[in-house]
Structure 1
Amino acid sequence: MNDRALRYFLAVVRSGSVRAAADSLNVAASAVSRQIIEMEAECGEILLERLPRGVRPTEAGRIVAEHAQRQADEADLLDDRLKRLRGVQQGTIRLKCGGGFLVDLLDNGLAGFSRAYPGIAFQVSSGTTDTIQAAIAQGDADIGLAYNLPSHPDLRGVVTARQPLYAILPADHPLARTSGAIALRSFATEPAVLLPPDHGVRQLLGRVEASEGFRLMGRLETTSFEVHRRFLRAGMGVGFLPRFAVSAELRTGELSALPLREVILSEATAHLVVRTGRRLPEGTRRMLDWLAEHLVAFRAGG
């Protein structure tokens, strides 16, 4: 199988359709289809299952896609090693992270790293736990930062730090000076800013709500952590986040953080991950070390 065929096939698997892959590759859909037909003839196996809308890989197709991904990784690694021979520190590192990591990543990670390695650029996108897992496993991102990430065979944890979920309160809230841990149920009648139901943090809260038989009173639902911070600073209610997501406001005293009593909330973790088995370019390895050392999220307890 030639490099072009593998590249085309990997694009089809990632995008879920021949047309979308052709658009991303800037080639004709017929050229992509022809390469797939030739690959199937060469393999003697059907590689793609044709669906009413798009395609998905068969078992043989998944094996070929894994091979194609390894080939792409090796090509990137070769390019990186040749650049290092010339003393060049260049390239682009793709990061996929939960929204709560963004301020920490920019302020404590990328700002200093970019000064130390000015030739390296970044692509940063945010997503849910599921989309972060998929992006790393499929090779669409190099580094993932996720909260309370479940085990996944295609992901390797570089750093894991315990980052409990806290009740985040305006500084003048009546409970802000409470000493010791407090039960989540204590906030059942408080207006709250919450993440959507498919978010890992909201699912943790939902498990406690279900086991204890109460519901939090959502005043605002949003995926934006910046909106969370503004809601809390405006004194509109309470929120539930790890400390690193509001570390700047905690330092200035604008917000307060109360530990929550429930074990499932106190044992949540922050994760820095890459794809299992991938040999990483030098720039990516250095960034991993930098993030592990400098991000508040990877200091135990925030």
Structure 2
Amino acid sequence: MQTTALRYFLAVARDGTIAAASARLNVAPSAISRQIANLEAELACLLFERRPRGMVLSQAGELLARHARQVLASAEQVVTEIRELEGLWRGLVRVATTEAFAIDLVPSVIAGFHARHPGIRFELSVLPPSQVTQRVIQGEADLGLTFCLDPSADTAVAYRNSLDMVALCAPDHPLAGQTVIGLSDIAAHPVALLPRDTTLRTILDAACRAEGIAIEPAFTSNALSALLPFVRLTRGLTLMSSIALPDHVGRGEFVALPIRSRRSLARGIEVQTMRDRPLPRAVQAFLTALVAALPRVGE
């Protein structure tokens, strides 16, 4: 099987139609159709179920998709290793992460790594947690840093830990001088929160139910960066991971307050890689730097 055919096949599997794959790859639809037809003829089976709203992988297609991702990842690995023979001078590191880690933490690690290895290029994608994992599984990201309610079974996990939430407020907020606050303290002030379909809200809402406390957000947004001006300009609060904004807190722009609750407010985080894929040298080196910037397990 040619890698071109596999690449076209995976594009259709991801986008659901030949037209969408054609637009993404900038390749004529007829060329993509021909390559898929050749694959189906070679394997003597249908790889897609043709439905009114698009194309869905058949059982055989699912098997081929897993194989194709490994084949393409291995091909990229060989090219990368050849380019890296003279040292850690060249390479591409593709990182997918949730927004909480994309504001301060990951860009800071990238900047530090770039200062030591200026020939390494980076691509950073900011996505919801489940999409981070999918990018890694599909080989579209080398590394994924994401929240997870349950340990991932479909990726290799390079780092796993559990981190508490904190309340974030402006330095002049009435609660800013407290060493620890409760959920009832949070409920007494305007709150800006992520939507209910996020890991943060799932855990927070369960903790509030356990204490019979209702926290009704004054402002809801699916972008963490949109919540920060609200907190900065009002006597409001928001909640996030304890390591989400180290630079902002370190500069004194915000105060991070530990929260006391009957039910744990901790969320699992993972650094994920594709299973059974040897990492390119640049990716492995950056992975080491990224894990070193995260809290040690048990802290």
TM-score, structure 1 normalization: 0.90
Tell me by how many angstroms 1:149 deviates. Answer: 4.9
The answer on whether the counterparts of 1:170 and 1:255 sit within 8 Å (CA) in structure 2 is yes
Report SS of the residue matched to 1:92: strand
Q: Which runs of 5+ in 1 are unaligned?
A: none
**Where in structure 2 are the equivalents of 1:220-235 lying within 5 Å?**
220-235=219-234
User: Counterpart in 2 of 1:39?
Assistant: 39
The answer on whether the counterparts of 1:165 and 1:242 sit within 8 Å (CA) in structure 2 is yes
TM-score, structure 2 normalization: 0.91
Q: Distance in 2 between matches of 1:75 and 1:4?
A: 11
Report SS of the residue matched to 2:158: strand
Q: State the one-letter code of the partner of 1:176.
A: A
Report SS of the residue matched to 1:153: coil
Report SS of the residue matched to 1:218: coil
User: Counterpart in 1 of 2:289?
Assistant: 290
Q: State the one-letter code of the partner of 1:53.
A: R
**Where in structure 2 are the equivalents of 1:63-74 lying within 5 Å?**
63-74=63-74
Tell me by how many angstroms 1:217 deviates. Answer: 2.3
**Where in structure 2 are the equivalents of 1:18-57 lying within 5 Å?**
18-57=18-57
Moved more, 277-286 or 221-230: 221-230
Tell me by how many angstroms 1:140 deviates. Answer: 1.5
Q: Distance in 1 between matches of 2:248 and 2:31?
A: 54
Tell me by how many angstroms 1:236 deviates. Answer: 3.4
Q: Distance in 1 between matches of 2:290 and 2:86?
A: 26
Q: 1:38 to 1:118 in 2, by over 3 A?
A: same
Q: Distance in 1 between matches of 2:85 and 2:255?
A: 50
Tell me by how many angstroms 1:44 deviates. Answer: 2.0
**Where in structure 2 are the equivalents of 1:99-178 lying within 5 Å?**
99-102=99-102, 103-107=104-108, 109-178=109-178
The answer on whether the counterparts of 2:210 and 2:263 sit within 8 Å (CA) in structure 1 is no
Number of aligned residues:
298
Q: Structure 1 vs Structure 2: percent identity of aligned residues?
A: 32
**Greater helix proportion:** 1
Tell me by how many angstroms 1:264 deviates. Answer: 4.9
Q: Distance in 2 between matches of 1:3 and 1:80?
A: 16
The answer on whether the counterparts of 1:270 and 1:298 sit within 8 Å (CA) in structure 2 is no
Q: Which runs of 5+ in 2 are unaligned?
A: none
Report SS of the residue matched to 1:196: coil
Q: Distance in 1 between matches of 2:84 and 2:254?
A: 46
Moved more, 185-194 or 67-76: 185-194
Report SS of the residue matched to 2:70: helix
Q: Distance in 1 between matches of 2:240 and 2:99?
A: 11
Aligned-residue CA RMSD in angstroms?
2.2
The answer on whether the counterparts of 2:183 and 2:213 sit within 8 Å (CA) in structure 1 is no
Q: Distance in 1 between matches of 2:115 and 2:257?
A: 36
Q: State the one-letter code of the partner of 2:3.
A: D
Report SS of the residue matched to 1:217: coil
Q: Distance in 1 between matches of 2:124 and 2:29?
A: 29
Q: State the one-letter code of the partner of 2:135.
A: A
Q: State the one-letter code of the partner of 1:34.
A: R
Q: State the one-letter code of the partner of 1:261.
A: R
- After superposition, the C-alpha distances for 1:241-281 in whole angstroms (9 at most, x for unaligned) are 12222323332344322222236544323321112211111
Q: State the one-letter code of the partner of 2:239.
A: F
- Asked if 1:187 is matched to 2:186, the reply is yes
User: Counterpart in 2 of 1:199?
Assistant: 198
- After superposition, the C-alpha distances for 1:199-230 in whole angstroms (9 at most, x for unaligned) are 22122212223444443121111233333332
